[in-house]
Amino acid sequence: MKIHTRIKDINSLEDVIKRRKKDREFKTLLAKARLRVAIARQIKIAREDAGLSQSELADALGISQPMIGRLEGLKDNRLPSIELLAKIASITKKKLIVNQPGFHLELACM
C-alpha cells in the first residue's frame, strides 16, 4: 500500500467532528473544549497586553506561575471560575470577552 493511499484513508478532525456531532456527549465535550480554548486565549491576551509575565500575574492573584501556565496552555481540563476571571480582568485592566455559540461572557475591570 502506498503512503498516498494510506493518507487518503485517514479522517480529518473535521470529518470526525461532523460524524460525531449527533452524539450528545461528544457535543458537550466539544463545546467545553472550545470554551476552554477561548478562555485560555483571553487570559493570555489580557496578560500580554498588560505587559505582565506569567509569574507577575500569578503573584498578583496569589497563585503559582504553573497554574497560569496551565490556564493558558490547556493542561487543565477544568474551567476557571468566574471569580478568577474577574480578578484577572481587574489585575490586567483588560476586558475578557468569551463568545462561543450559546455562551457569551464579558468581564471588565471595575
Give the CATH number of domain 24-107; options: 1.10.260.40, 3.40.50.150, 1.10.287.110, 3.40.50.300: 1.10.260.40
Average pLDDT, the chain: 85
> DSSP readout, 11-44?
PPHHHHHHHHTT-HHHHHHHHHHHHHHHHHHHHH
**Phi, psi at 104, each rounded to 5°:** -140, 130
Q: How confident is the prediction along the chain (110 residues), in pLDDT tens digits per residue?
A: 455 555 555 667 677 777 777 788 888 888 888 899 999 999 999 999 999 999 999 999 999 999 999 999 987 788 899 999 999 999 999 999 998 888 888 888 76
Write out the three cell numbers for 25: 456527549
* pLDDT given at position 1: 47
Query: What's the whole-model pTM score?
Result: 0.78
Domain boundaries, the chain: 24-107
